[in-house]
Structure 1
Amino acid sequence: MNRRNFFRQAATAGVGAAAATALAAPAIAQESPKITWRMTSSFTKNTDILWSAATDIAESVKEASDGNFTIHTFAAGEIVPPLQAADAVSNGTVEMAHTCAYYYIGKDPTFALGTAVPFGLNARQTNAWFSVGGGNELLNDFLGSYNLFALPAGNTGAQMGGWYRKEINTIEDLKGLKMRIAGLAGQVMQKLGVTPQQIAGGDVYAALEKGTIDATEFVGPYDDQKLGFVKVAKYYYYPAWWEGGPAVHAFMNKEKFNALPKSYQRMIKDACANANQNMLSRYDTSNAKALRQLVSEGAVLKPFSPEILEASYKAALEVYAELNAKNAAFKKIYDSQQAFKKEGYLWNQIAEYSYDTFMMVQQRKGTL
């Protein structure tokens, strides 16, 4: 090859390489566009474990996208009131919310099944039902008519049964009680004589202190200790039979989620899964220490009596029978959860329950 031909071919190759680079750059840019979303939370920054799920999601997406996909997070009340977060997503005011589905049962009681219902799934069952048991698909089929798409993005584990100004030993003690309680649990409690109140988390302490309510449930020891409920109601009951493993969700505007590049959709899905695991881990790490602190501050720890649990279970079944008879969407999801729960407890009571029971005995004996 002579020198002239060599340089001619080299120049041609260079043009080809430059052209390839020019073609590749716009393609890459299109796959990773600059997008900014806003996410409103139903939780205050003071309830930091709940709040941190939103920031976990935003940080994960920003890192995975090299800063091209940014989600700005806003605490409860900074854009919309905490119990209007899903509405803001549905109508496009914001693209995303971190909230609990059961806050919206006023629209349709089926929303409750997205978070927790009385005597429902525990935390492990909830996560399994959503991820591989068909639950996520069923919930999103229902949410589609509201222009919403949701992914699990947190779970508190089994919660406490709340704070009461007086002892609750019998069904009679519940009658006339004004209690802050969310979701379908309020309808069950109503059958037992309680007057349910739905109050946002940030307003609960003041309502209890002023006597607007006589009792409240919230989450568990970690949050309850931070919120100071022991100062205004000393009787602390367990368990929250209405929240055995409540899910918290990232709600997204369905149209805007579907318009995202597939890579960004995957980033959100992975970020939500990470936040989901983080929340449960944080509560499992923090609740024991907080419970000891609460008892040292004067909390009187008491279990609900078998009488109250049995009466509550019966009332819950009545509520479900009524809803199933008139709401096909509710029945479809409820039946799926029931079938999953029956299988779940068939297995749970064999190996894990036996193991945990033995280890709990060792803990009480002080041999751990």
Structure 2
Amino acid sequence: MTGQSNTSRLSRRAALGLGAGLVAAPLAAPAVGSEKGAVLEWKMVTSWPKNLPGPGVTAQRLCDRIGEMSAGRLNIRLFAAGELVPALGVLDAVGSGTAQIGHSASFFWQGKMPASVFFTAIPFGLLPQEHITWIEQGGGQDLWDELYEPFNIKPVMAGNTGVQMGGWFKRDINSLEDLKGLTIRMPGLGGEVMRRLGATPVNLAPGDIFQSLQSGVIDATEFLGPWSDRAMGFQKIVKSYYAPGFHEPNGTGEALLNKTAFDGLPDDLRAIVLDACQAENARSLAESDWENAGSLDALREQDGVTVKFYPDDVLSALRTTSAQVLEEFAAKDELSGRIYESYAGALKRLAPWSNVSLRRFLAAREGEA
């Protein structure tokens, strides 16, 4: 995201460069309806290949759910990455009114608003349920709304792929030296952490990762978890799959709602859209945990993949460098600082409880306590 875009085949500025002036563009008349009985047709654009296990499935299910809950009064046609706009063009497309709703991940917009990364995942940060708690109970949603408001967008949680894996590496990571000179697809602040430890992070749209890994443009990649990663076919190229996903302990996907279109809906349709997003957020997290477990077994037993773990000294360096990156981030601007303080405050509040409850229980369940 920050430093990693230098070598990317897909320039973020090119992909997202529709221009800030488009944000204020008027929405086409058919997209807005104030009468309760009106039938509305919306477009959804996404950053995902069509029906990709995980976020692609979530995006289609969200369209279907809204249509069903509204009894056909709000119908949404999904356009996968590249069908209407580029994968990384979703933010601008929704803000300008090219589409009324989008499905993506907030860290793709770090080039436009650095603090967007906090609403997907932060290295060594909040776990999925902790993140949901921050958004819904700890003031995160208000800050998220404030951050996206200049883009004419209302963001909401609408999917979660769970705890992420560390990624696929063509060469083993036995020490910090093995990170030096490594070209890795890793968006978000995790990419900046890798850069400071000698790697070269790049930002690629999901649909471009496989070819880049196969051709040698990149030496390693992270994406999501076993379910989505196996569907992408990375195991056909690389057999070493690393954990933990230090850079993304959470996998929140976002629905981006054009504010002009959303505010123009009748009250009941606005409620349906928000309730559908919330329901999909919970369902997709459960689905991802279930499918990731089965896909991890398949990767090991059927595909010959070996799960490996970052050495302790590498994890220690990643953790220390992550703290430095976050401290510097907080000084970028006033809103970024407030978002950082809110996130850090949520982590400080929730981590001790997670340690007493989840960590201790898991250790006891495995007979380690």
In the superposition, the TM-score normalised over structure 1's length comes to 0.88
Q: 1:56: how far off? A: 2.0
Q: Which runs of 5+ in 2 are unaligned?
A: 1-33
Residue 8 of structure 1 corresponds to none
1:326 positional shift: 2.5
Q: Could you list the per-position Cα deviations for residues 327-368 of structure 1 after superposition, in whole angstroms to 9, with x for gaps in the alignment?
A: 222111111111111111111111232222222349xxxxxx
Name the TM-score, length of structure 2 as normaliser.
Answer: 0.88
How big is each residue's C-alpha offset from its partner over 1:96-137, in whole Å with a ceiling of 9 and x where there is no partner? 100001001111211111111111111010111111221111
How much has 1:314 moved relative to structure 2?
Answer: 1.4
Q: Retained in 1: the 8 A contact 2:53–2:227?
A: no
For residue 366 of structure 2, give the secondary structure of its aligned residue in structure 1: helix
Indicate conservation of the 8 Å contact 1:155/1:247, yes or no.
yes
Instruction: Render the CA deviation track for 1:232-273: whole Å, top value 9, x for unaligned.
Output: 122110011110012100001112211111111100000001
Opposite residue 353 of structure 1, the aligned amino acid is R
Kindly state the Cα deviation for residue 54 of structure 1 after the two structures are TM-superposed: 1.6
Give the whole-Å Cα distance in 2 for the aligned partners of 1:70 and 1:306: 51
Distance in 1 (CA, whole Å) between partners of 2:338 and 2:176 is: 32
How do 1:121-136 and structure 2 match up within 5 A?
121-136=126-141
- Distance, in Å, in 2 between the alignment partners of 1:344 and 1:59 is 35
Q: Give 3-state SS (helix, strand or coil) of 1:325's partner.
A: coil
Aligned partner (choices 98, 101, 121) of residue 116 of structure 1: 121
What is the aligned counterpart of 2:106 among 72, 91, 101?
101
Tell me whether 1:327 sits opposite 2:333 in the alignment: yes
Q: Which amino acid aligns with 1:45?
A: K
Structure 2 counterpart of 1:214, which letter? D
Quick check: 80-89 or 50-59, which moved more?
50-59
Deviation for aligned residue 1:46: 4.8
In structure 2, distance between residues paired with 1:57 and 1:76: 16
What RMSD over aligned residues (CA atoms) do the two structures have, in Å? 1.4
1:309 matched to 2:312: no
Name the counterpart of 2:220.
215
2:331 match: secondary structure: helix
Find the aligned partners of 1:121 and 1:298 in 2 and give their Cα distance: 32
Question: What pairs up with 1:8-87 in 2 under 5 angstroms?
Answer: 30-87=35-92
- Residue 319 of structure 1: how far off its partner (Å): 1.4
- Greater C-alpha Rg: 1
How do residues 1-368 of structure 1 correspond to structure 2 at under 5 angstroms?
30-296=35-301, 297-361=303-367
Between Structure 1 and Structure 2, how many residues are aligned? 334
Mapped contact 1:159–1:240 kept (Cα < 8 A)? yes
Quick one: which amino acid aligns to residue 311 of structure 2?
S
Per-residue Cα deviation, 1:81-110 (whole angstroms, up to 9, x for no partner): 111111100111111100001001111211
User: How far apart in 2 are the matches of 1:146 and 1:136?
Assistant: 16
Distance in 2 (CA, whole Å) between partners of 1:31 and 1:360 is 55
Q: How much does 1:278 deviate?
A: 1.4
CA contact (8 A) 1:98 1:248 kept: yes
What residue identity is the alignment partner of 1:299?
Answer: V
Q: Which amino acid aligns with 2:279?
A: N
Contact kept, 8 Å, 2:299 with 2:305, in 1: the verdict is: yes
Matched to 1:308, the amino acid is V
**In structure 2, C-alpha distance between the alignment counterparts of 1:118 and 1:192, rounded to whole Å:** 14
Check conservation: 1:57, 1:271, Cα contact below 8 A: yes
What fraction of aligned residue pairs are identical, expressed as a percent?
A: 35
Contact 1:98/1:250 (8 A) holds in 2: yes
Q: State which drifts further: 38-47 or 98-107.
A: 38-47
1:42 deviation in Å?
0.8
CA distance in 2, matches of 1:322, 1:267: 40
Q: Evaluate the alpha carbon distance shift between residue 360 and residue 79 of structure 1 in structure 2; reply closer, same or farther with a 3 A threshold.
A: farther
More helix by share: 1
Supply the AA of the counterpart residue of 1:330: S
Task: State the shift of 1:41 in Å.
Answer: 1.1
- Tell me how far apart the structure 1 counterparts of residues 266 and 290 of structure 2 sit (CA, whole Å): 36
Question: Any conservation in 2 of the 1:126–1:246 contact (CA below 8 Å)?
Answer: no
Whether the 8 Å contact between 2:164 and 2:225 is mirrored in structure 1 is yes
Contact 1:34 1:69 in 2 (8 A): yes
Q: Distance in 1 between matches of 2:358 and 2:300?
A: 29
1:315 Cα offset (Å): 1.2
Partner Cα separation in structure 1 for residue 82 and residue 279 of structure 2: 25
Aligned partner of residue 153 in structure 1, secondary structure:
strand
Q: Mark the runs of 5 or more structure 1 residues left unpaired by the alignment.
A: 1-28, 363-368
Structure 1 runs, 4 residues or longer, greater than 3 Å off: none
Cα gap change, 1:46/1:212 in structure 2, threshold over 3 Å: closer, same or farther? Answer: farther
Contact preservation (8 Å) 2:53, 2:231: no
How far did residue 188 of structure 1 move? 1.1
Which secondary structure does the structure 2 equivalent of 1:30 belong to?
A: coil
Contact 1:109-1:184 at 8 Å conserved across structures: no
